[in-house]
Copies of this chain bind each other. A is one copy, B any other.
Amino acid sequence: MASKYQSVQPGGSLIIAWRAQGKKVLIVGGGVVAAGRILHVLNADAHVIVVSPKAGLCKEVAWRIQEKQVEWRDRGFLVEDLSDDVNMVLTAIDDPSLSSEIYKLCKSKKIPVNAADIPPECDFYFGSEIRNGPLQIMVSTNGKGPKLASLIRKKIESSINPATGMALEKTGLLRQKLRDIVPEPENSRKRMRWMIEICELWSLEELAMLDENLINRLLGYFPKKTPSYREITTPAYSKIDNYIWFGAIIISGAVLLKHVSKAR
In the bound assembly, the distance between CA atoms of A200 and B12 in angstroms comes to 25
Q: Mark A97-141, 1 if CB is under 8 A from B, else 0.
A: 000000000000111101000000011111101010111111111
Of the stretches A15-23, A73-81, A237-245, the one at the interface is A15-23
| Interface presence of A219 (CB below 8 A) | no
Q: Is A234 interfacial (CB-CB < 8 Å)?
A: no
Q: Is the CB of B15 within 8 A of A15?
A: yes
Secondary structure of the A side of the interface?
Answer: mixed
Least CB distance from A49 to B in Å reads 15
Query: Is residue A175 contacting chain B, with contact meaning CB distance below 8 A?
Result: yes
Option from B16, B17, B199 in Cβ contact (under 8 Å) with A148:
B199
Q: Which of B15, B126, B141 contacts A138 (CB 8 A)?
A: B15
* Residue A155 lies at the interface, judged by CB distance under 8 Å to chain B: yes
Say how far A246's CB is from chain B's closest CB, in angstroms.
Answer: 38
List B contacts of A127 (CB < 8 A): 15-17
CA distance A67 to B4 in the complex (A): 13
Asked if B148 and A141 sit within 8 Å, CB to CB, the answer is no
Contact of A20 among B6, B13, B126, B148 (CB under 8 A): B13
> Is A8 interfacial (CB-CB < 8 Å)?
yes
Stretch at the interface among A162-170, A220-228, A250-258: A162-170
How many monomers of this protein are in the complex? 2
Q: Is the CB of A145 within 8 A of B175?
A: yes
- When chains A and B are docked, how far (Å) is the Cα of A180 from the Cα of B237? 70
Kindly identify which residue among B126, B134, B147, B160 contacts A141, using a CB–CB cutoff of 8 Å. B134
Q: Is A33 an interface residue (CB 8 A)?
A: no
Shortest Cβ distance from A176 into B: residue: B144
- Residues of A whose CB lies within 8 Å of any CB of B are 3, 5-6, 8-20, 39-46, 60, 63-64, 67, 69, 88, 109-112, 114, 122-127, 129, 131, 133-145, 147-148, 151-152, 155-156, 159-160, 164, 167-169, 171-172, 175, 195-196, 199-200, 204, 207
